[in-house]
Structure 1
Amino acid sequence: TLVRRSDFRNDKVLRFIQSDRYQYELKPILSYFQLSSKDFNINSNYYYSQTDLLKEYRCGNNSYYIPIGWYRHGINLKNKYSDYINSIDTDNINNQWPIAFYGTHSLIGNNINQQDLQSSLINNDSIKNEYIHRIKSVDDKSFIYLTTDCSVAADRYTTSFTIKNGDYNKRFKIVFQCRVRPNSFTIHTDLVDHDQLWKINDPQAIRPYGLLLNTETILL
């Protein structure tokens, strides 16, 4: 996000910067993950911080839960998909692409600019791997599971990672916010917590349009 110098005095970290004594440089958080800025659209960035937001919304006549406390870095979809306008439409109509979330391991973030993201999701799907382990036998493994609740994706299917920053560590979790083509998924129930899971066989039916980031500060 853009930071104005006038905002420094209100920030718990930036207010200690003494620009007259040394040089400093502000870098976007995505630079720590070695991600290219061209793969993101800052106009789609959004911080889900409002406490007055409804917890549950509907999109494409399917419910999903707002990821309160997460910051979305918008992924640039323009010129990548011929139907990208339809896939990010915000009206709750029958043919709108509904919203779901995908929990990740930390290394998957680099795949945004290295290879096709949809194929990468299938190969690194921790939800699928856990589900396969529980039911012991699956004939078709070319699928991916998504959930309509970001907290489920983050708590159970995302591996956190830590970056040291001076006198404290930052613990991060990454979740992809996705649009899913209507009628391309089947709905299942998690075998343990009974959460709703969407099973998608076609990776082209998934449009990751936001990288959700959640941070926690750990004092050393």
Structure 2
Amino acid sequence: MFQDLDLRAEVISAICGQKVKPSDTETCKTRANVLSFDEFHLHQCLRNLQPHVGYLEDEKEILDPPQHYSSYLSDSAGCGKYFGIVQGHLKKVEIELFIDEKDFFDPQYDYDFTQLSDSAECMRGGEPYKRPIGWYRMALKVKDKYPDGNTWLGSKGWRSHSVAGEWPVSYHGTSSDGAKGIINSQYMAGDGAVYGRGIYSTPVLAESENYAKIFQSKKTGKSYKVILQNRINPERREVCRRSDYWLIPVVAGTSASEEKEIVEGAIRPYGILIQEMK
């Protein structure tokens, strides 16, 4: 079921908030509105800028994105062809997008956790890691994508121990509702954060579920929730006072290109977790 291309496109649609359809590689070469994986990642970085942990308990204001992103988003290298800028705010452009499934997903690394009952802790990147029991992981096409190689991913297959050079696991929810949670910021820095300005995620799956995106599939008629599973660079991560939140610091005044470099070198999504709602 989770291998279905139409359902996978619906997952990307739900995360992006934009209609997305699957297409093959050759057809994508002739289409104008093709969303690449890199653009998807960039969109997730820029869509919401206020992290959940950036709120005081009595604060409800949503901060505007930094103005330097207006020009960055509007150029052809960013998401400007899909998302316009109106007075500093992202505004969705209602067009139909297409994805090359081979550019997004790497099914050989999918993993079905739905039938597992063993929740024993293991280690990833020197940090405790509990497998996401009850979820199915759609692997993203990240192997050989970054110039520093694949060590950050660790070795393939089940193991209880860490391997040298791999990064710990963290999670982002994908909902744009409610408290504008840590995953709403989707790897983008938020201003005025209680624990500092930067990129927030959580090593605790249950915490990220508070911000999971829920959608109903037209293909199956069922409802699902989705969460992004990441690896986070331990050399750039800080543990917040609440140890279930991790921060990648991004100082105020950092340029758009520098923030993009920080994102790519510090936190990388490698899977989409999906679970059927009961």
TM-score range, shorter chain: 0.5 to 0.7
**Larger helix fraction of residues:** 1
1:209 equivalent in alignment to 2:270: yes
1:105 to 154, 162, 175: 175
| C-alpha distance 68-43 of structure 1, shift in aligned 2 (>3 A) | same
1:174 to 218, 223, 226: 226
CA-CA distance at 1:103 after TM superposition: 1.1
1:158 to 197, 212, 217: 212
Query: Unpaired segments of 5 or more residues in structure 1?
Result: 4-25, 108-119
CA contact (8 A) 1:178 1:207 kept: yes
| C-alpha distance 216-57 of structure 1, shift in aligned 2 (>3 A) | same
- Secondary structure of the equivalent of 1:179? strand
Query: Unpaired segments of 5 or more residues in structure 2?
Result: 14-19, 21-98, 156-160, 178-184, 250-261
CA contact (8 A) 1:95 1:182 kept: no
Moved over 4 A (4+): none
1:196 to 237, 241, 244: 244
Structure 1 CA distance, aligned partners of 2:219 and 2:2? 20
- Secondary structure of the equivalent of 2:224? strand
Structure 2 CA distance, aligned partners of 1:164 and 1:98? 35
Equivalences for residues 61-140 of structure 1 within 5 A? 61-90=126-155, 92-105=162-175, 121-123=186-188, 132=193, 135=194
Match of 2:64 in 1: none
> What RMSD in Å do the two structures reach over aligned CA positions?
3.1
Between structure 1 and structure 2, the one with the greater Rg is: 1
| C-alpha distance 94-197 of structure 1, shift in aligned 2 (>3 A) | farther
2:101 to 25, 37, 61: 37
Using structure 2 for the length normalisation, give the TM-score.
0.51
Aligned-pair identity in percent equals 26
CA-CA distance at 1:160 after TM superposition: 2.0
CA contact (8 A) 1:72 1:212 kept: yes
**Larger strand fraction of residues:** 1
Match of 1:145 in 2: 200
Structure 1 CA distance, aligned partners of 2:120 and 2:215? 27
